[in-house]
Structure 1
Amino acid sequence: MDALPDMQDCIDACTNCHQACLQTALTHCLRVGGRHVEPDHFRLMMDCAAICELSANLQLSGSPYAPRLCALCADICHDCAVSCAELDGMEECARACEACEHSCRRMAA
């Protein structure tokens, strides 16, 4: 069974956000240090990467829990986008989080 177009867009947004958060945290943030590796920010980025990956997986499997998880994913993506926007060099990650937030809110509705 193929995913519906809106669901496929959400899966793609979640996958992109997972990659952006994980890669940015483990390359850019660790290299720059300072506020980029403060526990609250760094933990949020790792949480965002993890929930985005799980959200994509649940959607791909057709899980009945996917819409509820998408709602939580949207909240975490929002917080991560805000946190990233406050730091230098985090624009791509913030954009990925915002796109995932919007897509997940549509799927959760």
Structure 2
Amino acid sequence: METRSYNALIQTLLDCALACEHCASSCLKEEDVNMMANCIKMDRDCADICLQAARLLQRDSVIAHQYLLLCEEICRLCAEECSKHDHEHCRQCAAACEDCAEACYQNHEPIDQD
């Protein structure tokens, strides 16, 4: 079986994770941090899941493409949450999450439980 290169997808996942980390850190500096709590939580979850997806792809894990289903979902949820806020870091994060969700959608496989 030929191993495909997923460098572009991995880079998209890493870019999304970094955008989420930046957004979460920036949210902590906003005047009303309590208002940003859900955004921060979602950013952190999204960053963790994107980083794990990148690791799984890099090591050619048998579940990597199934895991992208979860990654797509968290990216869409994070983009939705960030879109509720009018901060530049939230706009950038939402855009990165939308790009990542689409990339995951293009590459995921259904979960097969035999």
Instruction: State whether TM-score is above 0.5.
Output: yes
What is the match of residue 20 of structure 2? 21
What is the match of residue 49 of structure 1? 47
Does structure 1 residue 97 correspond to structure 2 residue 97?
yes
How many residues align? The count is 104
**C-alpha contact (below 8 Å) 2:19/2:96 kept by paired residues:** yes
**1:24-46 residue CA offsets vs partner (Å, 9 max, x unmatched):** 101x100112422x2x3321110
Q: Which has the higher contact order (CA 8 A, sep 6+)?
A: 1
Structure 1: tracts of 5 or more residues without a match:
none
Alignment-mate amino acid for residue 20 of structure 1? A
Q: Whose helix fraction is larger, Structure 1's or Structure 2's?
A: 1
- Following TM superposition, where does structure 1 have runs of at least 4 consecutive aligned residues deviating by more than 4 angstroms? none
What is the match of residue 84 of structure 2? 86
Helix, strand or coil at the partner of 2:15: helix
**C-alpha contact (below 8 Å) 1:55/1:70 kept by paired residues:** yes
Structure 2: tracts of 5 or more residues without a match:
110-114
Instruction: Report the aligned-residue RMSD.
Output: 1.6
Identity of aligned residues (%): 30
| 1:3 CA drift (Å) | 4.6
| 1:100 CA drift (Å) | 0.5
Structure 1 or 2, whichever has the larger Rg, is 2
Alignment-mate amino acid for residue 16 of structure 1? D
